[in-house]
């Protein structure tokens, strides 16, 4: 299997040329936010911060799905794991996220049937093979993941699986960007927009936010050349005083996005308000099952309505996700909160900004 489009975008000579260009163009102090957790990881992994001019600060935004999952949703996952005869299926990153009193990892050690899956389709198969059990899928993700969960529901209908359900803590990206821009104290000079999400949504999904706030915005891929290119474009827009919405990932992202995926997503889900951990409620930023699919809603099926819980004392995840604080400015960072004993979600996920800071800097 030759892996195309990876090595080409990690080319050292090309990268060094881009870095040179960035240094020659950069004059102003700028705060640029990478919205997506995969960008955060890639930026650290390739040492991108260490090659940028001193005046360029990169902020890690609310684009790690695990990090923004509300604590009450984690509590719900833990509660499902405690129900007799239930198999909880989840993406691996959620396993260690601490809820109010436990995590899925701890529940598994106590004997709960918690299984890591790579996609919702694995969960559907588990339901098919375990008809005497209830299979709950922890639905956590953005526009990239939601269409696949919708397809999972349709597969469940086709397979007549009445033992399969999902708990939807899914979230949408553009409303979060708007919420950020409306928050007092937030100072962002440009967005590095998420590549994977944009493959589904298309460039057009950001047009509203861009036009309202006139903020430099560039869609980027995940290799170092992609990210450096996006940073260069954002600096050029800022230096010229000409904000634009640009697509620096045209090999994967189109204006309209993946129409079929959006169609399936909108067939099964509808927009709702959603709680973002550390940030709070953002209007129209979540997706819940439409009425005709509610028999697949685990929260309804198990009458699971967890109470809101306060954030752990001292945890600055919310401010970190909005670029108001860096992980190092959190009083718990590296003291009470480490990847071995995470307090806040940003320390748990490999894509979380605190975990990335901890590992790579």
Partner 1 sequence: MTEEKILLDHGSGGKVSHSMFSDIILPLFENPELSKQDDGAVLDVKGTKLAFSTDSYVVDPIFFPGGNIGDLAVNGTINDISMCGANPEFISVGLILEEGLPIKDFKLILETMAAAAKKAGVKIVTGDTKVVPKGKADKIFINTSGIGVIPPNVNVSGSNAKPGDKIIISGTLADHGITVLSTREGLKFDSDIKTDSAPLNKMVQSIIQSNCDVHVLRDPTRGGLGTTLNEIASQSKVSIKIDEQSLPIRGPVQGVCELLGFDPLYIANEGKLIAFVPQKDAQKILEIIQQDEFGKDAVIIGEVIDKDPGKVFLQTNIGGLRIIDMLSGEQLPRIC
According to DSSP H, which parts of the chain are helical?
Answer: 12-25, 37-45, 71-82, 104-109, 120-129, 146-158, 173-182, 195-201, 207-213, 224-240, 259-268, 298-301, 317-321, 353-360
Identify which of residues 59 and 117 has a Cβ nearer to partner 1 in the complex. 117
The footprint of partner 1 on this chain (CB under 8 A) covers a number of residues equal to 36
Percentages helix, strand, coil for the chain (3-state, rounded to 5) are: 45, 20, 35
| DSSP secondary structure code for residue 55 in this structure | T
Identify the burial level of 307 via C-beta atoms within 10 angstroms of its C-beta, where 0-12 means exposed, 13-18 middle and 19 or more buried. Answer: exposed
Contact 137, 73 (CB under 8 A): no
CA distances 81 to 88, 118, 332, Å, are 6, 18, 29
Minimum distance, C-beta of residue 352 to partner 1, in the bound complex (Å): 12
If DSSP codes are grouped into helix, strand and coil, which group holds residue 6?
Answer: coil
d(CA 236, CA 216): 10
Q: Does 23 bind partner 1 (CB under 8 A)?
A: no
Instruction: Output the smallest distance, CB 213 to partner 1, in A.
Output: 31
Of residues 267 through 326, those in contact with partner 1 by CB under 8 A are: none
As measured in angstroms, the least distance from the Cβ of 341 to partner 1 is 10
Q: Are 298 and 166 in contact (CB under 8 A)?
A: yes
Among 27, 109, 308, 329, binds partner 1 (CB under 8 A): 109
Question: In this chain, which of 31, 106, 115, 207 binds partner 1, going by CB under 8 A?
Answer: 106
Interaction residues for partner 1, span 321-340 (CB under 8 A): 338-340
Q: Does 82 bind partner 1 (CB under 8 A)?
A: no
- Taking CA atoms, 220 is separated from 12, 102, 247, in Å, by 18, 36, 7
In the bound state with partner 1, the residue whose beta carbon lies nearer, of 75 and 288, is 75
Stretch that binds partner 1, among 15-23, 68-76, 143-151, 203-211 (CB under 8 A): 15-23
Distances (CA, A) of 112 to 123, 291, 324: 16, 30, 38
350 binds partner 1 (CB under 8 A): yes
Residue 44 in contact with partner 1, rule: CB under 8 A: yes
Binding flag, residue 15, partner 1 (CB under 8 A): yes
Q: Can residue 51 be called a binding residue for partner 1 (CB under 8 A)?
A: yes
Q: Which CB atom, from 40 or from 285, has the smaller least distance to partner 1?
A: 40
Least separation in angstroms between residue 102's CB and partner 1 is 7
Of 115-174, binders to partner 1 (CB under 8 A) are: 118
CB of 42 to partner 1, least distance (A): 11
Site for partner 1, rule CB under 8 A = 1-3, 6, 10-12, 15-16, 19, 44-51, 96, 101-102, 105-106, 109-110, 118, 224, 228, 338-340, 350, 358-361
């Amino acid at each position: 299997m030759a892996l195309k489009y990876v090595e080409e975008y990690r080319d050292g000579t090309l990268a060094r040329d881009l870095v040179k260009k960035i240094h020659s163009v950069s004059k102003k102090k700028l705060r640029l936010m990478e919205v997506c957790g995969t960008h955060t990881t890639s930026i650290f992994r390739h040492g991108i911060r260490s090659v940028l001019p001193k005046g360029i600060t990169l902020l890690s935004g609310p684009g790690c799905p695990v990090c923004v999952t509300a604590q009450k949703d984690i509590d719900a996952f833990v509660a499902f794991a405690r129900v007799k005869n239930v198999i909880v299926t989840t993406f691996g990153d959620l396993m260690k996220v601490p809820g109010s009193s436990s995590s899925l990892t701890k529940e598994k050690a106590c004997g709960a049937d918690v299984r890591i899956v790579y996609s919702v389709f694995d969960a559907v198969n588990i339901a098919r093979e375990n008809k005497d059990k209830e299979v709950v899928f922890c639905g956590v993700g953005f526009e990239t993941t939601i269409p696949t969960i919708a397809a999972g529901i349709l597969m469940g209908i086709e397979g007549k699986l009445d033992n399969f359900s999902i708990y939807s803590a899914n979230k949408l990206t553009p409303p979060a960007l708007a919420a950020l821009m409306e928050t007092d104290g937030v100072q962002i000079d440009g967005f590095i927009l998420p590549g994977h999400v944009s493959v589904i949504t298309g460039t057009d999904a950001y047009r509203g936010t861009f036009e309202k706030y006139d903020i430099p915005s560039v869609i980027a891929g995940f290799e170092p050349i992609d990210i450096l290119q996006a940073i260069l474009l954002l600096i050029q827009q800022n230096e010229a005083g000409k904000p634009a919405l640009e697509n620096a990932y045209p090999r994967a992202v189109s204006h309209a996005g993946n129409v079929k995926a959006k169609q399936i997503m909108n067939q099964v889900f509808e927009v709702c308000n959603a709680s973002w951990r550390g940030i709070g409620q953002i209007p129209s930023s979540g997706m819940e099952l439409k009425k005709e699919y509610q028999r697949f809603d685990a929260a309804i099926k198990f009458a699971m309505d967890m109470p809101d819980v306060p954030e752990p004392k001292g945890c600055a995840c919310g401010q970190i996700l909005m670029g108001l604080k860096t992980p190092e400015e959190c009083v718990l960072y590296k003291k009470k909160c480490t990847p071995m004993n995470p307090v806040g979600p940003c320390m748990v996920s490999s894509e979380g900004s605190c975990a990335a800071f901890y590992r790579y800097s």
